[in-house]
Chains A and B, each alone.
Chain A
Amino acid sequence: MTSETTRRRFKELVLPHLDDAYSLARWLAGATDAEDIVQDACLRALKALDSSAPVERPRAWMLAIVRNTAYTWLAKNRPSAIVLAGDAEEAQAHVSALETGTSPSPEAALIEAADHARVAAAIEELSLPFKEVLVMREVNGLSYREISEATGIPIGTVMSRLARGRTQLIAKLGASP
């Protein structure tokens, strides 16, 4: 029932990005559920590939499916983890927190010395809108344009959320352990 073309497209467009898909799912939803989420996302991708619509940026396209699958999953199983409404404004309002000099800024060396557990915990603690753009940028290595495509949010919002997320991380990692 799966046509040869669909199979070929699945191999070319989905399978090469399985590591990225799994990484994103792990960061968004945790190690226990990442496998189920990615498997479900693969099925959705396969279904989508049955139509002949072209896929221009496969990695962003696949990660968009993983992200949506993860959120569907979170909404069903852990509704408290989903905090999405009004975040764009919030992110915008907080960019001014980037102004330096208002509070003592941590030393770059202190941030770089943070160990594995602290870095992981600091990222875990970010709320989802900030975490997803940060992980897509730093772990998956997506460009702003690709992140915008994968999340469906405008580039300007991607940029301000990324800035805000990083500011939170710097504050956390820069505080003495």
Chain B
Amino acid sequence: MTSLNHEHRALLLHAALDGELDAAGALEMERMLAADQELAAEYARLKALRNAIGAHAVRHEAPAALRARALAMIEAPETSPREIRMRKWDRPSWRSFAAAIAATIVATLGLDRLIVAAGAPDAATQAIVSAHMRAQISGQPVDVASSDRHTVKPWLAGKLPMATGVVDLAGSGFPLLGGRIDIVAGAGAPTLVYKRREHLISVTEPRANIGDYHATPQRRTLEGYSVVLWSDADRAYEAVSDLAPAELDSFVAAFRQAMARERGDAAAPESAK
């Protein structure tokens, strides 16, 4: 038997195992297996391998957080928050999810903060999360790309009627990517973009009723993203990311510390209470 024949036969054997032979090919293979003990033994080994792989090589289920982020990619930014919330509840996957999110919020924040969070500024947060999602999907998260805060700060100052503090957090593991301007409640709001591994973090400073924000950061979950809201020195901030909540918390802590240093007040953010 030529080696070409051998090769052909070997491939046919695998095709038979994979159900890729048509009726004529399957019939031919049956005849060959009956006539050739070696071939039949190889076929038995292949079947054993298939069983071993089937028993042990797992088809993993995508983690819930990943599924949530994939879903978040297609939530309509132009739809009103109320509509999104209603549509979400229609979907079975969201029902189980919402329970998990609620449980997480209660477990991590405690009930007192949950009550505070319920009164926090909904519309602004929705706009800020939408802007973050849009930035992520478009692949252009920044209008001005620079890791140098002395480039980002004057750029923002030239576009907006307010001075924006810009800090670089590369030392804490959150390098500055640049800045952009989001529209929140009909007004331009400066947004700084930072990076952690492949994850983006947007920090927006909305011109909002400062009374809605608290010196103690509140964490919420919207569209699968973590959002942290807080106020410092009469400015409101909202940070959005798909990072793990604990990592976003450490980002917020680093951001507030650096910002306090930049403002020149030596006081720790906590003393602002």
| Interfacial residues, chain A to chain B (CB-CB below 8 A) | 1-2, 4, 6-7, 10-11, 14-15, 18-23, 26-27, 34-36, 38-40, 42-43, 46-47, 95-96, 98-101, 105-106, 108-109, 111-116, 119-120, 123, 135, 137-140, 143-144, 159-160, 162-163, 166, 169-170, 173-174
Residues facing A in B149-185 (CB within 8 A) are none
For A40, give the chain B residue with the smallest CB separation: B198
Q: Determine whether B41 belongs to the interface, using a CB cutoff of 8 Å to chain A.
A: yes
Q: How many A-B residue pairs have CB under 8 A?
A: 155
B71 & A163 in contact (Cβ 8 Å cutoff): no
Q: Inside 8 A of B138's CB, which chain A residues have their CB?
A: 1
Q: Determine whether B61 belongs to the interface, using a CB cutoff of 8 Å to chain A.
A: yes
Residues facing A in B55-81 (CB within 8 A) are 55-63, 65-67, 69-71, 73-74, 76-78
The minimal Cβ–Cβ distance linking A17 to chain B, given in whole angstroms, is 9
Q: Inside 8 A of B51's CB, which chain A residues have their CB?
A: 112
Known contacts A20-B59, A23-B59, A138-B57; A163 and B73 CB within 8 A of each other: no
Contact residues on B (Cβ < 8 Å of other chain), bracket: 35 or more
Most buried by A among B7, B66, B71, B136: B66
Instruction: Write 26 A-B pairs (CB below 8 A) sorted by A numbering.
Output: A10-B73, A19-B59, A22-B66, A39-B69, A43-B73, A43-B139, A46-B73, A100-B38, A100-B39, A108-B48, A111-B49, A112-B49, A112-B52, A114-B56, A115-B56, A138-B50, A138-B57, A139-B59, A140-B59, A143-B20, A144-B18, A159-B14, A159-B15, A162-B14, A166-B14, A170-B46
A36 & B11 in contact (Cβ 8 Å cutoff): no
> Known contacts A2-B76, A36-B197, A170-B46; can you find 7 more A-B pairs with CB under 8 A?
A1-B78, A38-B62, A46-B137, A116-B55, A138-B50, A162-B18, A163-B11
Q: Inside 8 A of B10's CB, which chain A residues have their CB?
A: 95, 98-99, 163
A166 & B49 in contact (Cβ 8 Å cutoff): yes
Q: Determine whether B45 belongs to the interface, using a CB cutoff of 8 Å to chain A.
A: yes
A111 & B67 in contact (Cβ 8 Å cutoff): no
Give the complex CA separation of A88 and B265 in angstroms: 65
Residues facing A in B177-217 (CB within 8 A) are 197-198
A1 & B62 in contact (Cβ 8 Å cutoff): no
Give the complex CA separation of A26 and B41 in angstroms: 33
The minimal Cβ–Cβ distance linking A34 to chain B, given in whole angstroms, is 8
A2 & B62 in contact (Cβ 8 Å cutoff): no
B66 & A108 in contact (Cβ 8 Å cutoff): no
8 smallest CB-CB distances across A and B, nearest first, come from A119-B56, A108-B48, A22-B62, A98-B10, A112-B48, A111-B48, A108-B44, A18-B62
Contact for A7 among B42, B67, B74, CB less than 8 A: B74
Contact for A119 among B7, B46, B52, B71, CB less than 8 A: B52
Contact for A139 among B46, B49, B57, B242, CB less than 8 A: B57
